[in-house]
Amino acid sequence: MNEFSVVCRVLGTLFYRQPQDPLLVPLFTLIQEGKLQQHWPLEQDELLTRLQQGCDVNLLSADFNAMFVGGECSVPPFRSAYVEGASEAQVRTFLQQRGMPLGEAPADHFGSLLLAASWLEDQSQEDEAQAQITLFDDYLLPWCGRFLGKVEAHSTTGFYRTLALLAREAIQAMRDELAEYEQDEDAEPGEEQA
């Protein structure tokens, strides 16, 4: 699993799964012990330290539920809540066309979109970078700033406020990496003719 995939998988999982989910125990252990930095490819040590300091799973559960769960949640985690005319079906169709297996859960959840970016990276199809660019540009970037701003405003724990900042910086860094890939791809045909 490469660096891009690791970042998407960690962030996606933390936004998608309940803090008390047994699958998160190893990840929360890494965070609590300050060992996530060893595996984190981005220069975000200060934010990772703040994440570690706010990592009390019992407090996080109430915050997660108030923000993201149910019809009365303060921060809906779905693209369709932020982008006019957007539907979950658009995201589902895009991912299914790329062969991603999807369950019944909504495909336009912020966390699941990051997990989808990780999945696309891990599949390493020929058009994987273009699929990731489309995922970022069409399905994530148009609304993630508003979503993460709401997380920062509504979170009652430092953990989720810090996670929002971490995600904002990481998403920009990953999109910049994809832009570099695009530039390299655009440059190749001209180089062949020279």
- Which three-class secondary structure state does DSSP give residue 109? strand
Q: How far apart are CA 127 and CA 19, in angstroms?
A: 34
* Angle subtended at Cα 140 by Cα 136 and Cα 146, rounded to the nearest 5 degrees: 140
User: What average pLDDT does the segment 85-92 reach?
Assistant: 94
Q: Hey, what are 102's tokens?
A: 């999807």
Nearest to 162 by CA among 151, 147, 176, 174: 151
C-alpha to C-alpha distance for 110 and 148, rounded to whole angstroms: 10
In contact, 12 and 115? CB cutoff 8 Å: yes
Please choose, from the candidates 159, 187, 106, 128, the residue with its C-alpha nearest in 3D space to the C-alpha of residue 5.
128
What are 100-139's pLDDT values in tens digits? 999 999 999 999 999 999 999 888 666 678 889 999 999 9
pLDDT of residue 123: 81
**What angle (nearest 5°) sits at the alpha carbon of residue 35, between those of residues 16 and 154?**
40
Is-above-0.95 flag for pTM?
Answer: no
Domains belonging to the chain, first-starting first, are: 3-181 (1.10.3480.10)
